[in-house]
Amino acid sequence: MAGPLSHLRVLDLSRVLAGPWATQNLADLGAEVIKVERPGTGDDTRGWGPPWLRDGDDRETRESAYFLSVNRNKKSITLDLSRPEGQRLAKELAGRSQVLVENYKVGTLSRYGLGYEDLRRSNPGLVYCSVTGFGQDGPYAPRPGYDFVFQGMGGLMSITGERDGQPGAGPQKVGIAITDVLTGMYASVAIAAALTHRERTGEGQYIDCALLDTIIAFNSNQIVSFFCSGRLPIRWGNAHPQVVPYEVFATSDGHIILAVGNDSQFASFCQAAGCPELAQETRFRTNSQRIVHRAELTPLIAEVMRTRSKREWIEALEAANVPCGPINNMKEVFEDPQVRHRGLRIDMPHPLGGVAPMVASPMRLSGTPVDYRQAPPLLGQHNAEIYGGLLGMSEAEIAQLGADGII
């Protein structure tokens, strides 16, 4: 069955992570996504290896794992947007598209005649999404932006990391480029909303997505707590500021997460752990008291947790309906029976032979499911299809564009 967005064409002028994350979501939902890349080099992330994909003969290719992770279901064409002929072709493609996504520095595409105001005149229904570090206006708008910087500027690192006074204390970034990923997700939602408006009215619109805005919105619950209390949130490491016990504990052979969310779960934990008397103590009977007496309770639990292995604890706590879980490495994640059942690894045939291993989309639609149509493309793989089929150019014209370095 065709995907819910299979009637749409997306012109993807973005690269690296935030923009491509958004366009991969649209592609997974059925949209035809035409990824425009620089001739010769392509998206920056094509060169971000090792690790590299291995082909059908187990030889190392020059297709980076990073690029593979966020560019499936797309078609790649090459086009030099800095040259007038490249700009003319981009305008033609934009005129045949319903969505355009870009992440150039503020003002760059307008200088090329490819800004929203330029394109909407001939395509008033175009949904045009710009993804930048700081947004289209304000004193920082011209600056380049990087995920790490925004994790610091937006406050996330001030609440991430071990508590002051503990070994290893200090601000810490998240282990993935979370600002980029979240901005891509917000962009996807905004595009879907703009398309709904377009289908009702025929009108397109401009979407301004900023990484700084995104990471601040992501911190909303901590920020609103600060607004209401006037108290700055602090780093809690693996602990929780309002729930105890809710953190990582060492076992006899590793670590597990113990996430006791209410008083009945605490009583169940104490019973399963062989220390039911803890749940009866006034200091620990309610979560409010456990927060007040955190420094007394946590060492007692830590001592008990070291008496059994990870597996023993997880089996005992799951049987008692106490929330808990392992801390898996990436290999262990995909050995988990639930992960296997959900089919969260997919292998897509790759043009260079062999398969491209990928992570499945978490979007599960009953009537129009995600369709994995093609692996991330080779650079310029679809030049003939798009320039010849969509724009109607002859083989000789396409060859001349290549000879001139336009594509």
- Catalytic residue IDs: 180
Q: What would the two tokens of residue 57 be? A: 């003969």
Q: Which of 28, 26, 20, 35 is nearest to 381 (CA)?
A: 35
Tokens 């953190």 found at: 247
Helix ranges restricted to H, 72-207: 84-95, 108-111, 116-120, 147-153, 178-201
Cα separation, 166 vs 130, whole angstroms: 42
Cα separation, 35 vs 20, whole angstroms: 9
Q: What would the two tokens of residue 298 be? A: 């946590």
Q: Which of 190, 192, 159, 188 is nearest to 173 (CA)?
A: 159
Cα separation, 114 vs 80, whole angstroms: 13
Instruction: Kindly report the backbone phi and psi dihedral angles of residue 231, in degrees, each rounded to the nearest multiple of 5, phi listed first.
Output: -100, 130
Contact 75, 33 (CB under 8 A): yes
Beta-bridged to residue 74, according to DSSP, are 33
Q: Which of 38, 25, 18, 26 is nearest to 379 (CA)?
A: 38
Q: What would the two tokens of residue 305 be? A: 């947790």
Cα separation, 161 vs 237, whole angstroms: 5
